């Protein structure tokens, strides 16, 4: 476990969603105010707004990759190609470690009651969800793939 992966786990345990926890662990590398980073990544929690689609930790990993290695010129075809290659490599590495990048699959059938209302963060919540470990894994994958 790295310092950043421990920080991501801590952020998750403080109540930030999976995406926010991953992005927040890299706040020192991104020249944007922490509060704004949290707002920008807030929609990705719960597998994109609790839809249980792409895991928030994975989405957070992609957001950080965009901040650090993304492109801005819409006509930069080579840069876009390389960035998408990076995103796919990150997704595959996370999937290799965890079996999926889909929230509902990672939760193992504990996808929730199909509501937009977030679950209360109780001790039981933390015991039955792998999210703390998933945010740590996402940070480690990002550090390894980007050689950070």
pLDDT band with cut points at 50, 70 and 90 for residue 139? very high
Residue 112 above 60 pLDDT?
no
User: 117: exposed, middle or buried (C-beta count within 10 Å: 0-12, 13-18, 19+)?
Assistant: exposed
What is the per-residue pLDDT for 110? 59
pLDDT band with cut points at 50, 70 and 90 for residue 108? confident
What is the per-residue pLDDT for 119? 81
Q: Is 108 helix (H, G, I), strand (E, B) or coil?
A: coil
Where in the chain are the domains?
A: 3-146
């Amino acid at each position: 476990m790295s310092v950043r992966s421990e920080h991501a786990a801590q952020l998750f345990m403080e109540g930030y969603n999976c995406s926010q926890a991953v992005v927040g662990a890299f706040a020192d590398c991104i020249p944007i105010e922490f509060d704004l980073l949290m707002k920008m990544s807030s929609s990705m929690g719960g597998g994109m707004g609790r839809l249980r689609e792409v895991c928030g930790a994975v989405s957070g990993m992609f957001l950080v990759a965009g901040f650090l290695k993304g492109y801005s010129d819409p006509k930069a075809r080579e840069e876009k190609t390389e960035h998408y290659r990076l995103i796919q490599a990150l997704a595959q590495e996370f999937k290799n470690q965890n079996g999926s990048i889909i929230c509902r699959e990672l939760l193992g059938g504990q996808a929730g009651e199909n509501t937009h209302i977030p679950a209360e963060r109780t001790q039981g919540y933390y015991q039955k969800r792998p999210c703390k470990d998933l945010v740590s894994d996402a940070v480690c994958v990002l550090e390894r793939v980007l050689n950070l």
